[in-house]
Copies of this chain bind each other. A is one copy, B any other.
Amino acid sequence: MKVRYELIHKDKKTGARYGKLIFTSSDGSTQEYETPMFMPVGTQATVKTLSPEQVKATNPGIILANTYHLWLRPTPEIIEKAGGLHKFMNWNGPILTDSGGYQVFSLARNKKKDITEEGVHFKSEIDGKKLFLTPEKSIEIQNMLDSDIAMSFDECPPASADYNYLKNSVERTLRWAKRGKKVHKNKNQNLFGIVQGGPYEDLRRFSAKETVKIGFDGYAIGGVANDDECKDDMYKAIEFSNPYLPEDKVRYLMGVGEPVDLIEGVKRGVDIFDCVSPTRLARHGNALVPGLRKTEKGEPKENRLNLKNARFKDDFAPIDETCDCYACKNYTKAYVHHLMRCDEAFGATLLSIHNIRFLISLTEKMREAIKNDEFEEFISNFYSLK
């Protein structure tokens, strides 16, 4: 489905954007989804522990799938033969695939890999087979997967990379973006470009301007480390990139899914987010709940309960009294605690539903606040929650 972004309203004080993504199928039918949006991640063509119906019930827009994982298993050839990713995984809503770059650079962070101008040589984590991912290959795979949004293949440098490394990397990523766009063949698929440049204003500006010159259907801000050490760098990356991105295209902050970061991202003009955290937290027994806690450095961080904790064994209240998700409407903390203690899969299912809905619900509240020009109050309320 081809996509266009419609900016509907900007919050008067912060400039936070409320908008819409309108997807048009080849048969002319459309699907509309509001932004800010949080996209659940279905790494291997399944949102872990959930059926598509359970995902749908959280009211998502786009979901994500990972090109790297699907390239290795089941292979793009199989998914193409199946009639594309939507049919393969029984998902009729929009799907975004990443480029595979992030996984190549991060999963293989400590393994030998060889980055050349042509692409990246590395070994499969599954069977040790030698693999070579190039901008052309990434786009070719995504074309075959037939996702609705494909991402350009970019270099994701380590957080420790210095200015000179990043400068070279930004330039290479631009050359890779051009090469990818050139071979992009799937007419029903959108292609997004990615802005890199670490925390450096000049690099982000250069990367954003040049990426926009190449011309894409949407723009992502990449290379933001999603950990407590680098919050400031993440905010800088957004602030230094966004002024150079066109207002009429959607802006996607890749791999970010902490409540605080969704708020701070939207405040700085981001429209869409994705993160594996809600399902990963769930599998470890954690539920996102309202309020904030502090990191050791005193920074605000998402509030969570670990349902494995013995104190929940006779807690017959829902995970979150204020939540409207299937888990909170039908089950108690005591039940989820029991399931997690017994390693019953349905425990992770319930927590995944809750955590995904928690983040999506947060985006819904942000939309309302922006529409009413009350986003600043929304943020201050958010931070004042115990």
Residue ranges of A at the interface with B (Cβ–Cβ < 8 Å): 44-46, 48-51, 54, 69, 73-74, 78, 81-83, 88-90, 313-314, 316, 330-332, 334-335, 337-339, 341-342, 344-346, 348-349
Interchain Cβ contacts under 8 Å between A and B, 7 examples: A44-B338, A51-B54, A73-B342, A78-B314, A81-B314, A83-B316, A90-B335
Q: Judging by beta carbons under 8 Å apart, are A51 and B346 in contact?
A: yes
Q: Which of B78, B337, B346 contacts A49 (CB 8 A)?
A: B346
Q: Which of B89, B313, B344 contacts A46 (CB 8 A)?
A: B344
From residue A331, how far is it (CB to closest CB) to chain B in Å? 6
Q: Judging by beta carbons under 8 Å apart, are B44 and A74 in contact?
A: no
Residues of chain B within 8 A (CB-CB) of A337 are 74
Residues of chain B within 8 A (CB-CB) of A316 are 81-83
Residues of chain B within 8 A (CB-CB) of A82 are 316, 332, 334-335
Residues of chain B within 8 A (CB-CB) of A346 are 46, 48-51
Q: Judging by beta carbons under 8 Å apart, are B73 and A335 in contact?
A: no
Residues of chain B within 8 A (CB-CB) of A81 are 314, 316
The answer to whether A74 and B330 touch (CB under 8 A), given A316-B82, A344-B44, is no
Q: Judging by beta carbons under 8 Å apart, are B88 and A45 in contact?
A: no
Residues of chain B within 8 A (CB-CB) of A339 are 44, 46
Q: Judging by beta carbons under 8 Å apart, are A48 and B334 in contact?
A: no
Complex CA gap A81/B74 in Å reads 47
From residue A158, how far is it (CB to closest CB) to chain B in Å? 27
Q: Judging by beta carbons under 8 Å apart, are B342 and A345 in contact?
A: no
From residue A326, how far is it (CB to closest CB) to chain B in Å? 8
Instruction: Considering the complex, give the chain B residue whose CB is closest to the CB of A353.
Output: B51
Complex CA gap A147/B212 in Å reads 64
Complex CA gap A347/B370 in Å reads 40
Q: Which of B51, B83, B338, B348 contacts A45 (CB 8 A)?
A: B338
From residue A318, how far is it (CB to closest CB) to chain B in Å? 12
Q: Report which residue of A54, A69, A332, A349 has the largest number of chain B beta carbons within 10 angstroms of its beta carbon.
A: A349
Residues of chain B within 8 A (CB-CB) of A88 are 332, 334-335
Complex CA gap A345/B350 in Å reads 13
Q: Judging by beta carbons under 8 Å apart, are A78 and B338 in contact?
A: yes
Complex CA gap A78/B330 in Å reads 17
Q: Judging by beta carbons under 8 Å apart, are A345 and B74 in contact?
A: no
**Nearest 5 Cβ contacts at the A-B interface:** A74-B338, A49-B345, A46-B346, A44-B342, A90-B330
Residues of chain B within 8 A (CB-CB) of A331 are 90
Q: Which of B48, B314, B332 contacts A344 (CB 8 A)?
A: B48
Complex CA gap A44/B313 in Å reads 15
